[in-house]
Structure 1
Amino acid sequence: GTHHIECTLTRNYDSTMMGRIIGNDFEVIDADSTGTENLIFSTLSPLYADRTTTSITSQISFDINFEDLFPGQSYTFDWELCTAQYDQCELYNQWDAMGGSDPTATEGQITFSASSSSHVESFTFTDPGVVEYDSQTGAMSGINNHSYYFDGSLSIQGVPLTSNISDDFILGGEMGTNSYIDDNSNVLKNTNIPFSGRFNVDYHNINLLEYDIDCGLYEDGNTIPVDTISFENVNFYHSYTYFGSQSNSSNNLAPTATSGTHHIECTLTRNYDSTMMGRIIGNDFDVIDDTANQDDASITVSVDMHADEQYANVTIIGIDLDAGQEYKFDWTVHDFIPLPPVVLMENDHIWVEGNDGVETYILNFHDLPDTSNACITVVFSAGGTELETVSNVCWVSASIADEDGDGVYDKNDLCENTPTGSVVQAD
């Protein structure tokens, strides 16, 4: 029948009963129970299931074994789907601040009458589909890709007897868009290329599934890798795993003898069903020749005079250059009449060669302080190695200048405040 509990608080000093509280009504049920009832989920196999789509309905079926039952008694088994990461069975309360009722497919109830001390119920879970959010109504439907388990409890007329949980399993899963390969710098030919990266997935793997990570080094424009390396049977707990040479110093890729632009690509394969979940592509970098092998590169230096103003245009051309190599033109212009020669101007031009093998660099000397006897010297280097020096390329020119800033240009403009447009006169 119906019962409740009452409690009073008495102050002992003067034996005053200070108050009474009364609990809820509850039923004392006349039902038979062994008191040792137990339930066991059968082993889940596989530990992965695809998602429901428009053409395929995904289901997971297994058995629940009940033991030590009281024959003839009626029992109720309640189950619900829970996330393995946080042991959270109220799914929408976990995923959405607005909360809400979970899909009906994620929970259920089975009632049976025990004919003996043991009983088996077959159980089928039907995936309600990938989660969707209706921005107009604020309603959610479906569930996320995730790692889950089933929580089950056994009762008699609402009185809990025992509970248990199933094995963890993974439902669906995709590679995360924030997967990446760390940027690689240029490397020399025939040297190892250390690399690293991270694959993300949209669920917690909790060490359930294993994966293969396959990486290859590709020359620009080619679809066949020049070198490959694999990380097999990778397992991880969280939603990501790192890979590359940070885990083993021998996990490097090596370029062939071909220089030029290269990149690294890596794929993530789920071993359970051999599904290639995604591919990530690293940055372009250059495989370059060692500077010890640059003796075939050379330069030419030439000069021509401007047709009207007679100042010098110096052209420096580098040829037979190697892609990805850093080069430098280090140039100096002297006035060779004084002894020793006086430096009039100097600078350098540094670049990393592309794929055409040629570099053209033009200098316009129209404002040297004195160019009657100018000569240029160019030192050509690859990396830190000097390859060639070209000197004694000279010219005689009437370069224009405006050293006093008055707008009048002549070779040796030393007349201050000469009006703009005036005829140039002797200094």
Structure 2
Amino acid sequence: MDPIYLMNNVWIIICFTLVLLMQGGFILLEAGSTRMKNAGHIAGKTIFSVGIVSLVFWAVGYGFIYGEGNAFIGLSDFFYGDFTSVVDGLAGSVDFIFQLAFAAIALTIAFGGFAERAKLTAYLVFAVAFSAIVYPVVAHWIWGDGWLGALGKQDFAGSTVVHLTGAAAALAATIILKPRIGKYNKDGSANELAGHNQVYTALGVLLLWVGWFGFNAGSTLGVDDAFFGYVALNTQLAAAAGAIAAMLIVWAVAGKADVPTMLNGALAGLVAITASCAFVAPWASVLIGIIAGLIVYGSMRFFEKKQIDDPIFALSVHGTAGIWGTISTGFFATPELAAMNGGQAGLFYGGGLTQLGVQTIGVVSSGIFAFVLSFIILKVMVKVMGGIRVSEEEELVGLDLSEHGSYGYPENMPKTNGSQSA
């Protein structure tokens, strides 16, 4: 058997593992960014979410994305189990498991809009719907044989497919669920519901940063030309630039080098470069990261002023930065890299407005589709399930106790007559 074929498959399984371990980063990031009384819930719902998306993706998700069908959706390869196929130079099962990890990340991002106030049943039902139809349709449009791919849409590792799709669903959930109790005052001013552990948040970001090399560099789908090293370089530079830019802007505006803003800047740089990491020069990666770090700070402030309660900043980090990262290739894609990876050169390399227009169409169509369909699904869930938000009492007690019957930090929670209580 061809040794390069074997090496490519081993490389992608390693990258799958890195992307799967990003879920650990999300657990720490979300738990650290929210309050102690919800920490165990966040950890648990992340694990069962990965379980649900795995089964749904196997049953229908992969087929809707990559199956033979039409420009809108795939219609074959359901209940995937072909051990003889070769896809993009990989064993079909290896390609499947790698793509599954991306679907799981998109769902985790979507659940950022549910944080600290949604019923466990809401997570269960929406996980199935999102994994079965919302994510697969957008992914088919761009990565399958869909209409955006046919236009030449550039989204190397998923700024649109994964991050914007997840953020659009999170926005729908945030609007329907409404803000957490105590977040906003009657005059519209916001109260800070601070996360309980910045160390967890920082460690979560670092784990995500490391996992992102499986995300972006793994999307080369092989090692034979070592192009994954170039992709990794661009990824590192954008993340670094995003962290520094966000820290400097919040320091200049607020007078303090706010840690959560700095961490979100690093993530924004990673999200932004995800679309363009195979299309741009290193200097452009730095600029993309800087702009992402500045944009994420402004976006965080914007959503808070609009009373859109986003506890883990999914809308800004994954949504706003995802939009910028997708559009950035329309400016910075080099002729050589664009030709090698599909699409056309960006505006600043003499490519005119063509690629920029395609990128914009992709952002608008994918974002609207994911938001509208998620909104409809959630509205139906509210009607059928009698609501998807926990009661006021349950929210005040915390989802650890109200949804799971135990605290994530039992030794730190108050007790009455030898039993746990709120």
Q: TM-score range by the shorter chain?
A: under 0.3
- Structure number with greater Rg is 1
Structure showing greater relative contact order (alpha-carbon pairs closer than 8 Å, 6 or more residues apart): 2
TM-score normalized by the length of structure 2 = 0.19
More helix by share: 2
Instruction: Normalising by structure 1, report the TM-score.
Output: 0.19
From the two aligned structures, give the one with the greater strand fraction: 1
